Each structure stands twice: as C-alpha cells, then as structure tokens.
C-alpha cells in the first residue's frame, strides 16, 4: 500500500512539474520578445548581409517593440558566426542572417563544428540578389569579351576578389572562367565589403558581388559594371547586359539572403520572427531601396526556405566537386 501511495505521489509530482514547465514555456513564448534581439552577421561589416540587416532593423524594431542589435562575427566564410548562433539558446533572441555561403559551406569545409541543417532552423529567405561583375575604373575591359581578351593578353591572367572561398561570387567566377576559357586567380576576403574595397582600390581586377552593395558604388562612379549574371537585366542597372546577352547562353547565377535561428526554437517564436521580417519587407522605405538595388523580395515561409536550402546545397555540391574546391 505504501509503495502504491509513493508511486502515486511521484507520478503526481512529475505531472505537476511537467505542467509547470509547459506553463512557464508558454508564458515565455507569449511574452516574446521582452528584451533586445541580436542579429548576427557572419560576414564582414559593409557586405550584403550587413547592409540588409541595417536596412531592416528600424522596421523590425518597430514591429517587435524591442531594440535590434546587429553584431558582425566574420571569418571562415561565415562559419564562425553561424557556429555562434547554432550554439546559442533557442529562445529567439539570437538570429542568424546569412548569405548564399551558408548552403555551400558544408561542401567546402571538412570539419565544421556544427551541422548546418540540423543545428539551425530556417525562418525565411528574404531576397534574391542579382550578381554583378564589376571592375575598377582603370581596368581597360568594359564587358565580358573584353575581359577575356585582357586576361589572355596578360602572362599571369587577371585576378578577382570574393567575399570568401565558396561564396556565390567565387563559384560564379569559377563558372565564368570555364565559359570564357580564361584563367583568373582567386583572392578571397572576409566578406563582400573588403572584396569590393579591394577592387575599387585596384588590388584586384574584378569582383562578383550582389547588386545590394555594387549598385551604389557603380552609381557613385567608383566601379563599372561588366555584366549581370542573372536571367534578366536588373532594373537597378538597365544599361548593363546579362552574361547570356554577351554570348554565355543560359548563364544564370544569383545570390540571396536568409534568416535562421538555433534548432529547437519554439515554432510560435519562429513564426513571429518570420512575420516580423515579412512585415519589415513591406515597408515603403525598404521596398523603395530594394527596387533601387534590383533585389527581388521573397519573404518565404520557414518550410519553403528549408526546401530552397536543400536545393541550393545540392546544386552547388555538383560545382564544388567538379572544380575540386575544398577548404580545411
């Protein structure tokens, strides 16, 4: 009888604790957010992700009612910042904003300290970004054909900067090399900002980066555009021909920016973050800037972004294997 009584008491205590835990979690979710939220940029300050985060932060702050703090944790193609978020508490207060390198990194880094698809949960793909081939004003080439001729006329060919090994700019340049039949030396930087600065300053001949950071420099007279690499011309640079128009049939490479949170973040919080970003993207000021930069707003659901990430991973895995791109 005593044993039965003890079992009943223990079972009751377990149930009571479980109910208390559920109620505490429900209360925490219902009050989310109640403190500042960090958006981690895993690439360099001044790049596409940093620019996007700072563009959306004022609207997000108004929608969520809490300060939005943007922190840059660059290095290793974005894996340092991504690892930081993957190991953060799954409470919605540490958000990762990523560039296209996120889907590529598992294929180029042998020993990542986290699993990109298990330790982080998709929230939304924010935008697709046209990639633009840009050169410093002193470079004699003004289009892809002239770039190819210039490369072939130089003993060491030409070089290009990128936001990091395995970035869309790097992989796009590898495809461009193949299609143009030229050689180009890769000079990787820790993010699109430094890569862009290198080309503006003449340290590198060209770079391939998103319109979000190249268009202002082109319009400001600091760079010239040689080609847009998407299917169609971008409204932000209507005078710049696509690679396909310049003879590289069906050449189509674009970039993107998305948002993830630590795996295990409660679904209601993920949905609230998703809705906040979707609303921020509807802001007239944000939409005006997006149009100026030629970006295509996506604002996908968590499930849609998850499918997209898997498709991106599979697509670039083939290119990486073919080009034998591997990092430590």
DSSP class per residue in 158-220: EEEEESSTTSHHHHHHHHHHHHHT--EEEEE-SSHHHHHHHHHTTSSSEEEEEHHHHHHHHHT
> Same domain for 101 and 120?
yes
Main-chain dihedrals φ then ψ at residue 97, nearest 5 degrees:
-110, 125
Please give the helix or strand (H or E) that residue 14 lies within, else none: helix 2-30
Q: What is the mean pLDDT of residues 285-306?
A: 92
**Domains identified in the chain, total number:** 2
DSSP class per residue in 263-328: TT--HHHHHHHHHHHHHHHT-HHHHHHHHHHT-EE----HHHHHHHHHHHHHHHHHHHHHHT--B-
Using alpha carbons, list the distances in angstroms from residue 98 to 76, 120, 159: 13, 11, 26
Q: What is the mean pLDDT of residues 100-107?
A: 90
Note whether 292 and 234 are within 8 A (CB). no
In a domain, 178, yes or no: yes
CATH number of the domain residue 283 falls in: 3.40.190.150
The CB density around residue 64, as the number of other CB atoms within 10 Å, is 20
CATH number of the domain residue 199 falls in: 3.40.190.10
In a domain, 248, yes or no: no
**Domain final residue pick, 228, 243, 277:** 228
> Same domain for 120 and 261?
yes
DSSP class per residue in 216-267: HHHHTTSEEEEEE-SSS--TTSTTSPBTTTTT-TT---EEEEEEEEETT--H
> Same domain for 116 and 148?
no
> Same domain for 149 and 221?
yes
The CB density around residue 232, as the number of other CB atoms within 10 Å, is 11
Whether the predicted pLDDT of 87 surpasses 80: yes
Q: What is the pTM of this model?
A: 0.77
Parent domain of 219: 130-228
> Same domain for 55 and 118?
yes
> Same domain for 110 and 182?
no
Task: State percent of the chain over pLDDT 90.
Answer: 66
Q: What is the pLDDT of residue 294?
A: 82
Whether the predicted pLDDT of 323 surpasses 90: no
Length of the chain measured in residues: 328
* 157-177: pLDDT as tens digits: 899 999 887 888 999 999 899
Q: Please, how many CA atoms are within 13 Å of residue 189, restricted to the half-sphere of its CB?
A: 24
In a domain, 60, yes or no: yes
In a domain, 141, yes or no: yes
Whether the predicted pLDDT of 217 surpasses 90: yes
Whether the predicted pLDDT of 111 surpasses 80: yes
Note whether 214 and 106 are within 8 A (CB). no
* 171-216: pLDDT as tens digits: 999 989 989 999 999 999 888 889 999 999 999 999 999 888 899 9
């Amino acid at each position: 009888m005593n044993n039965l009584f003890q079992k009943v008491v223990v079972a009751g205590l377990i149930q009571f604790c479980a109910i208390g835990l559920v109620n505490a979690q429900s209360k925490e979710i219902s009050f989310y957010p109640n403190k500042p939220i960090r958006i981690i940029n895993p690439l360099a300050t001044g790049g596409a992700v940093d620019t996007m985060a700072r563009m959306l932060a004022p609207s997000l702050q108004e929608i969520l009612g809490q300060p939005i703090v943007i922190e840059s944790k660059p290095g290793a193609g974005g894996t340092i910042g991504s690892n930081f978020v993957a190991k953060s508490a799954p409470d919605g207060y540490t958000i990762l904003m990523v560039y296209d390198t996120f889907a590529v990194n598992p294929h180029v880094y042998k020993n990542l300290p986290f699993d990109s698809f298990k330790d982080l949960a998709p929230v939304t793909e924010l935008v697709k970004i046209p990639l633009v081939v840009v050169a410093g004003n002193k470079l004699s080439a003004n289009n892809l054909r002239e770039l190819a001729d210039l490369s072939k006329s130089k003993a060491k060919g030409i070089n290009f900067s990128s936001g990091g090994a395995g970035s869309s700019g790097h992989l796009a340049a590898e495809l461009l090399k193949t299609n143009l039949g030229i050689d180009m030396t890769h000079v990787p930087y820790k993010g699109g900002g430094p890569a862009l600065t290198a080309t503006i300053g003449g340290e590198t001949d060209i770079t391939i980066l998103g319109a979000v950071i190249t268009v202002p420099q082109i319009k400001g007279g600091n760079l010239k555009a040689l080609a847009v690499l998407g299917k169609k011309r971008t409204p932000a640079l209507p005078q710049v021909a696509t690679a396909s128009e310049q003879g590289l049939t069906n050449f189509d490479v674009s970039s993107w920016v998305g948002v993830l949170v630590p795996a295990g973040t409660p679904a209601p919080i993920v949905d609230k973050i998703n809705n906040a970003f979707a609303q921020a993207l509807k802001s007239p000021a944000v939409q005006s800037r997006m149009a100026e930069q030629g970006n295509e707003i996506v604002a996908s659901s968590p499930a849609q972004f998850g499918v997209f990430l898997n498709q991106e991973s599979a697509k670039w895995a083939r290119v990486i294997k073919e080009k034998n791109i591997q990092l430590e």
